[in-house]
Amino acid sequence: MADQTIIVTGGSQGLGLELAKYHHNNDENAVIIILSRSEAKLINACKKICNNTEFSKLEEFDTNKTRLYYHPIDLSNAGKVENLLPLLAKLPTIQKTYLTAGGASVKLFRDYSISELQQGINMNYSSSLFLSHVLLKNELCKHLIYFSSEVSFFPFIGYSSYTPSKTSLKSLVNILRQEFPDCRLTNVFPGNFASEGYAEENLTKPKITKDIEGSSKPISVEACREIIINDINKGYDDITTDFIGWVLMACDMGLNKNWNYSKFWFLQLILGVFANLIIIPIYMVILKYDINKYLRKAQVSDKTKKQ
């Protein structure tokens, strides 16, 4: 990684911070750049990454002084992302860009405000779309790592502001793989991991959503990072972080024309066909019953409150 650059969006906390920390500690000659909206959070993250040693703003880029830089930016603002180009063009070869920026707000659709729905699109789709366009159009990066979600394989109640954007990312990567065959494009589909964002989304998550998700415990952010790094190094480009994610990918793949570059893809193909023909139709009947039961109960509760 000598004379090469690694960019991490959403690098001020959670998984983005852990990925930046990993590469700073393990790729001793690489330049690390973290992007996020809050300058205060970015400075705090840099202190955690390099143990309060030297770091600087991206505008002051100088590899003789430091190899850790931060840049506050709203990546959902197309104009601001385009203005990044002069700064990015001055960097050593950008080897990897982790597009981890995003977050989930989990509620019933009627409980969102319009601004919250717009924020979901900005955080989870536009922030990756605009930066990857600048990088790919100008041939600035060799490897882009996108972050979709397990729920993009199986959308369900409560995730109306989150899942559509993450599913759009999945489709975007499939298209870009056709248009940019010489660039490595990885798509990660994380399950639950114990980040700040996960704790926040649970504050508003409806009971029916928790019931469908089940009692699975989130893995640590560090464990999630290790799975992702190990699978990338092994050459996988469709990555899940737990077994249920692998099964859901299989169901998506089983009767799907798109091929995945994932672990044991041939078993996923067989499982996916079997599950789509037999298991999923039965499960969807059960799931529909549970959701209707929840909604009927909620309607009764609403009527009682009005009375």
For 6, 182, 228, the CA distances from 68, given in Å and listed in that order, are 10, 28, 22
Cβ count within 10 A of residue 190: 23
Query: Is 157 strand, coil or helix?
Result: coil
Residue indicated by tokens 């750049």: 33
Cβ count within 10 A of residue 216: 11
Catalytic residues: 148, 162, 166
Q: Per residue in 127-154, is it b (16+ CB within 10 Å) or e — as a string?
A: bbbbbbebbbeeebbebbbbbbbbbbbb
Residue ranges with strand state E in 171-263? 184-189, 238-240
Instruction: Identify the H or E element spanning 31.
Output: strand 31-36
**261 token code pair:** 């570059």
C-alpha–C-alpha distance, residues 49 and 19, integer Å = 10
Locate all alpha helices (DSSP H) within 66-194, ordered by sequence.
Answer: 78-82, 85-89, 114-121, 127-137, 163-179
